[in-house]
Structure 1
């Protein structure tokens, strides 16, 4: 789905770029593997600014290229192949005025990145494994398994084709940047994490692995709990990856990543604190008293499966719910996921009662959106696309879309990783096509005031 784009920029070294100030008429030629020409341009601009180069213009139009175009051009072929592996490759040439006779020369940055070691670290991150059961320790059977954060036996298998689904995968780009693309993988590999031993995974999640959502509060809790544990495990992996990779990149890029590391460490601590509330609910079996949910029920066939969570900072009308930059205050968290149900499936929002301060207004704002006549199906499809990387598509459904529709969805998924993107809303994006094919037939909830409201409206 991603294409390779070829761009050549005219650039000039800034005054603080002592390394390249001797070069004049500099050209930076880039090969970028990404999902759109605009994204390729933004990627190059971001990278060249990091090299302390001022962009003076784009020499030619942005061209979508293939390997065959560079067969007889050794340098071009090498960079095209590098872009296939790393997502990005760049080549510089300019006039070197420090020579006895000025002439055009090829040159590159002296600051090298150990890409091989970064990739090795990335590919070995699954060595981190532990059990997140609240009583983990002596009770564990010591066999950590690939636990599915998206239910395998019913959710993934119901949308799979020949045992495969399309799942988001991080692809490596230059330095430590990544981009996302949809890759067809077997359901046994989709959405797995090494966060439970076999004994506890079987014991905890039996009520949802072997039974469809009825629904009841215990089942909803277990879906949410699994999503929370997946996020804790993932955050732990990211923290360790950053610690290992920061020393491998140029000093000028280390400061931003160090702040990124501190942010992830804070997020990890916050998730552990939230998990303590979930653990207490699980151990006390107080699901009915302490766990709230709202389910949009559909009898249409499932075409995707997802499991995620978010700290809702803004509601669906753009009103501030909680300031995530306030590192001293606790944050409210909401989970959302799909679940197979009798004769259909549910799009579920669920949260602990201790997180109700922000979560209830968030749900109320969703109701206001429905009252405006906006499609609830498209609204929730957009919300999932823009806020959850942990989702999988049915190959039958995904492959039935037009190429332009798939490209639009992929662009929306990646724009949140694009530092130069102006699209910041987490609720809607007009670029996402209305293709979900969902129809919600009912709303199910254990929130008493919401139940009464539904009864009155009916």
Structure 2
């Protein structure tokens, strides 16, 4: 490949070749320390994801906001030392575990936190779920949804930063390796930018509802139990396949907006809840939910375990419950955790399909719907 020094660089950066990839293979490679430094800086970004209409109320203090209630939910499933099991997703930890993500002990003060709200708005927006018993009204379901969407936006924007870092991390590599890394990052950014656009549009709808500018057009499914759920999670996903292995939507087609499902599993006043929330017009998500509702209630907790660990990273587990699992059950969960780690692999169609490995420890008492 021959390119003139003053021609546009082949990587589509817009820069001249002499100011971009010319001689890149002879440059000093990015060190492990630089990569770790980027990871730490990226995870320490401070923002408040409140509506633009409320920005003037922001305090100067951005806090470690919990996406899962510390007092009501994490403390409920923590061990005597106030630790839960969760994933420590950082470059140093991935290096230490040789590329594997495994459940490790995390203190409840650190679990599920992100620097995504100021102290004023973290209190104002989520008091309805932090300070009173969960009854499953629309205000509480909206608050759960809002927090999950903000956390996912924060994560996706962080992924975009990391993708940009990757573009500059091809120093000291052969031209072929440089081309592969640049193409990989470019393809990744297409998907990330599409996800950010969709999440921003969903958040805009939630902002309007919070501000009373529009009536609710959201649907919620609430699964209840008389005892705490041993797994706590707060996340959002665009489901690809359902619990029967049927294809729900093709996320590879970026010309079509993906339909999103928000889900939370938590405890409140000694009771356990799983709440699914989505836009009422999202027919594909409804099809996914109906595949869950078709499962026998006695097997639904096992289906939820497959779902939580198979599609969400922001998942935390009771050490006591984990200690009751067999090696086969733990192996299944660890396999589910790794199912979405390799970006070069597609999600298996049977990810959520029953495979004979069952889980116990939470009995479902009732299932309710709002605006279904």
TM range (shorter): 0.7 to 0.9
1:131-142 paired onto structure 2 within 5 Å: 131-134=48-51, 135-142=53-60
Gap runs ≥5 in structure 1: 1-109, 449-458
1:124: which partner in 2? 41
Q: TM-score, normalised by structure 2?
A: 0.81
Alignment counterpart, residue 369 of structure 1, candidates 273, 276, 295: 295
Aligned length: 332
1:227-376 paired onto structure 2 within 5 Å: 227-249=148-170, 250=173, 251=178, 252-284=180-212, 289-353=216-280, 355-370=281-296, 375-376=299-300
Which has the higher mean CA deviation after the structures are superposed, 373-382 or 202-211?
373-382
2:363: which partner in 1? 439
1:385: which partner in 2? 309
For 1:404 and 1:366, how far apart are their aligned partners in 2? Answer: 24
For 2:267 and 2:214, how far apart are their aligned partners in 1? Answer: 24
**Alpha-carbon offset, residue 406 of structure 1:** 2.2
Residue pair 1:214, 1:341 contacting (<8 A) in 2 also: no
Residue pair 2:241, 2:349 contacting (<8 A) in 1 also: no
Alpha-carbon deviations, 1:232-289, whole Å to 9, x = none?
A: 01111111122123311341433213311232122112211111111111111766x4
Residue pair 2:72, 2:130 contacting (<8 A) in 1 also: yes
Which has the higher mean CA deviation after the structures are superposed, 422-431 or 193-202?
422-431
For 1:233 and 1:165, how far apart are their aligned partners in 2? Answer: 23
For 1:262 and 1:327, how far apart are their aligned partners in 2? Answer: 8
**Alpha-carbon offset, residue 123 of structure 1:** 1.7
Q: State whether structure 2 residue 89 is matched by structure 1 residue 170.
A: yes
Greater per-residue strand proportion: 1
Gap runs ≥5 in structure 2: 1-26
Helix, strand or coil at the partner of 1:181? coil
Relative distance call for 1:202 and 1:444 in structure 2 (3 A) is same
Alpha-carbon deviations, 1:320-364, whole Å to 9, x = none?
A: 4333223233322111111324552111111133x4322222222
- Please tell me the root mean square deviation across aligned C-alpha atoms, in Å: 2.6
2:10: which partner in 1? none
**Alpha-carbon offset, residue 187 of structure 1:** 0.6
Bigger relative contact order, structure 1 or 2, given CA contacts below 8 A and separation 6+?
2
